[in-house]
A and B are shown apart, each in its own frame.
Chain A
Amino acid sequence: MLEETLVLFRNIRTPGYDGTLDSYRKAGGYQSLPKALAMQPEEVIALVKEAGLRGRGGAGFPTGLKWSFMAKNTGKPSYLVCNADESEPGTCKDRELMLKDPHLFLEGMMIGCYALGCHHGYIYVRGEYFPAIKSLNKAIDDCYREGILGPKLLGGDYELDLTVHTGAGAYICGEESALLDSLEGKRGHPRVKPPFPAVAGFNSCPTSVNNVETLTNVTAILEMGADAYKSLGSPNNAGTHLVSLSGHVNRPGVYEVAMGVGLREIIQELGGGVRGGKQLKGVIPGGSSSPVLRADEIDIAYDFDSVGKAGSMMGSSAIMVFDEDTDVVKLLHRISRFYNHESCGQCTPCREGTHWARQLLRDFLQNNGSERKLNRLQRVGRNMGGTTLCALGDAASMPIVSFLKKFPDDFRQYYATAS
């Protein structure tokens, strides 16, 4: 029987834990930060590198490596910006952390700031997360009151301020450079890269943008050491990750599992299987933008590399399960509608393509489909991939291409019955 591996959710799963500073301290909190402060910043980065932590925001980029890219001796301040704009459909893991155990996350953020030599960190929170924002702000206030944050970090000689900035509801502001634009007070538009944020990010200063879960993992790494952390996951995919399980399962929710456990086991054993004893039709394994997997393709280990090998991506570990009764055309239409609505509009293929694809899919739903339109949809979908400035074009492209490839008959059914 698959069970959760509790590292980040250790406190949350403890009965009676309420996420306040007191209870966090009682649970052994704020012990990792002094360890980090006793080390040189480079040593902290080396430790994170050693632990093999990969970013949990979706791309799975090694965090230690990202931190080591930060431009040094530029004469400008450097910034750590936490990307808490969790807006990929299906993902709800960062909210759990911010809402229920904010100090665990903040401690990781503080360690990160120290490691990057940054004296002002920003947390860019998705605007709709009102309770999480409230909880974060309260936690930060408590830290200032207790002297953890402020001119003397944890009573030491390091100055650190943290600011919570709320987004205004744009999916694109989860893209790191658009997020920085938004944080600067501009319209959130992805920037041309290079220069990467590590060279010119927030206010043209060296900036690292990291996900909430990633930074929370840093606390755990400092606490348990690199080797113990690495032993938790599968090779090249260290540690545990938070899986947002949703869709047609009996027990949806956020579960913490070690990297590399079976995808089918997660659905069957943690999720309690498909709702109503129905047959599984397919799984979207990493948020709405990842290519879909059919029911017969999910006997794989759930980590970055294995899911990648299976032709999809683990992304932000958001598993969406759908059963045999699901109309995948409706599902794809819903996904396309989302990307059409969220495309920032600056790049040509994504601006026009997302809308075109949505219109074509609407035709299918209105029984106006045809073989010609199916081919066109495929072409429009394919052409958005890899031709845009940021990854939104790919995100809109991948579901269309994969759904058409994996479930062509479901689309044909629409115009077969019509004619």
Chain B
Amino acid sequence: MITETIKKYNYINKSIPRIDSFDKVRGTLQYLTDIKLENALYAYTFRSKIAHGKINGIYTEDAEKVNGVKAVLTYKDIPALNGYGAIVPEIPVLAYDKVRYYGEPLALVAAETQEAAIEALSRIKVDITPLPVVHSIDEALEENAPKIHDKGNIARHTIVKKGDVEKARSSAYIVLERVYETPMQKHMFLEPEGGVAYIDEDGVLNVLAGGQTPYRDKIQISRVLGIPLEKIRVKNTPTGGAFGGKDDVTVQIHLALLAYKTKRPVKLVWSREESGIAGFHRTASKIKLRTSASKDGSLLSNEALIYLDSGAYQSFGPTILDVSIETINGPYRIPNYIIDANLVYTNNGIASAFRGFGAPESNFAIESMMNELADELKIDPIEIRLRNILKSGEVGPFNNTIRHAEGLEEALNRAKELFYRLDPSGPFQRTGVGIAVAIKGVGFGTLPEFPAAAIEIVPEGKVRIMFSNVDYGQGINTGNAQLVAEKLGIPISQIEVLHSDTKFSPDTGGSSASRSTFNGGGALLLACDKALEELKIEAASFFMTKSSDISYKDGNFYYKDKSISIYDVAKRLKARGKSTRFEATFEVPRYQEAVEGTLEVPHMVYMYGVIVTKVEVDELLGKIKPREVDFIADIGNVINPAIAAGQIEGGIIQGLGYSLIEELNYDMNGKPLNINYTTYPVPIISDMPFINAEFIKSYEELGPFGAKGVGEISIIPVGASVADAVADAIGKRSYKLPIVPWKII
């Protein structure tokens, strides 16, 4: 099947330079926080310095008196719903009855000058009665724990099960029970949250701020302001990095509210420290896993008790929990399982989407478990996986029929050749090698997705393409341009990609869940079909024949030995008053029903990856140096190998930070301790190991030209592979990330 569909392409499978790279290298690309609007007000946020407390009063009179101050807004100024949140709109736009995390916004200030705004901030007084702070999952679960919300500290609890775990476990040869923990991780994108807002001459409220999902931002703004969607425009690209941290609303509603109230253009950009204090982060996790297997390593049962720390509110918590459920069984054949999954409130900021979305958390548990089972059973860690992975056509643990699992098998077999220890570089160095496997669904699983996209044939010789997936650095604009170039057979130089903007981009959804190529690309190819169908009729009219006699190839329509270019046909169409813009909607294939107890499990299309990590540990200093990392990925057909490899490498280095050095900490008062690049170190270029990224030849018929997705797959298995490699080097297994030096010596 694969050999049949992979062929020679002209514009895909090619590492063409990113279409925005020239502007980026020259520094001419204007990010949204670079925008300077004439007559704009400077906006700042007044934040709580108490992590948990009852609000008795917010006093803004003195602040309002400062010369140049145009607005000091509190919850009282919110016209409609005081709430947002991608899944449940429970996050207050401005806190009103309680504060639930350090840095929670209480008021907004807009003034003619920065000085006036800062002066006003210093004059706002609040009266808050402090309540005991809940610092961790464990504390939140204590019997007499302070209640963060009226309903208690469990935001969501669900159980998903199949078979009879008790019976399976009692007949097993081996049963292992372990507790795994992972930390909160910050996104640390270079461009902090920020942007501008203004009301234009048509009365439309324009919000231009870094983000990932413009149409959902629009809905969230509309709910808060109580104004119709048509009166709102959201543009959130180009964005300087997001990684999930800009998927839910950050500054957008605050900007909208200020512009709406003051009728003036407003600029609001968070400082690095505000981003550290009040920006989102990855859920911390604590997972108890009991897994049983037979003597030959066949998995018999899996029992998981999952806790994710959602922080003070839910944001994407419920769906992150779903992905952690879906990931905890790995890509394995597990006939009996029970997953008890819990989303827990604490006073630790707000957890939200982060590359991998619950998968790195669960993957650390199940893949560490697989490595330890292999150890205990004296089976090669690759072999034990080969014995357990699901095959194509098999029905998986979540009742889904597995597609294209041969890619994973091939990747594991390739990993055998790469699985070896390096020679130590010095007398105190011990080397080790570790492995893990990753699986991640593309898109939103059983949740319906109907991405739309458009192409416009511009008679002057251009094809303009429009979709709302955001290019925040991952290169979707380039990838989608390549798909359209391939489909129409026209050079990339003739394709113009409009940055995602609700003013003219159809609703393709956002950039998240590794979905943009699959969904955006899928919709664009349908739009191309629509265009060709329509233009073919026009070409037929030009040749005075019928459309079934017309063929199309590489930018031209043919009739017998005569031809006319796509642009000339578009010109004719336009001359007759018809539109040359064609829009189409892609009905994303999915399972209709979610597994009981979940919102979106399972997915239909999965990416796969196998990682081999080779480390060196200094036995006296406990210093872990990742020296080489191999990653073999099955991401479907690869549209742009260089960009895809960049995604793989970026995920690995972000995963190494997560595994070795990164951890967001809060003090006893619930105040975050590491909020900037000095206090929250992330890996830098000299920390990079040699990375070998390889792609399995693979083709997913449901995706555009056989593509699946790539953004999240590589970060997912890094933690388990590092822990495994360190264990191989020094004989000590780690069950908690990050594996900082003082935990191993």
Q: Do the two chains bind?
A: no
